Structure 1
Amino acid sequence: MKLPKITLLISLLFVSISPYSKADIAPPEAGKRIIVHKVGKGEELHLLAGYYLLNAREWGKIYVWNSDVISNQNRIYPGQELIVYVDENWQPPYDLNAYLRSIGRK
């Protein structure tokens, strides 16, 4: 029965874990606003983090904020509505749809 133990061990090595947890992320402070983003084709958490949070590496924040909607941090689906907390004066840094088209995601 060594094969199942080895298979389990190898499987565990490939599990991806978010660098954030609910305890790491406090509720949004004053000066923040909520944006509800409807996921489109070709979008991924790191792309949305780059767009809204200006840092793709902060994708885990969006995952934690929406962990009740996102069952797998590696998969989001068109039509899902995600909550993102941004600065009160946040403005889109670029056209998200144009960017996704330019990298072949739309």
Structure 2
Amino acid sequence: GAPLLALQSLRWLALLLTASALLRPLGGFDALPEVSWLLLVPGLLLFATPFGRMAISAVAARLLLRGLEPGDHPRGGRWHLRLWLAEQIAQQIGAVGLAGAPWITYY
């Protein structure tokens, strides 16, 4: 749904705002938005780097699957939907292609 797609768009927003911040001082780009580097750098680290994307995915999975115990869980039930959501967050944020990342053990 839309909230999952919003996660993916935050990475593109961070990259586009970085381009805006780099081009704006050159002149002729006054129509681009002015962005504070105090907001831009943490946004880039969180949404555009492999470590940040893996951290978002790992934190979401840990929070959503907290309290899950081994056993049989019905399809479409509470735990099935939570697991599905954790997998979708990992897919949308782009953490799936980061299998070699050092934080994969925490996921």
Whether the TM-score (by the shorter chain) exceeds 0.5 is: no
Question: TM bucket by the smaller chain?
Answer: under 0.3
Q: TM (normalized to structure 2)?
A: 0.22
Larger Rg: 2
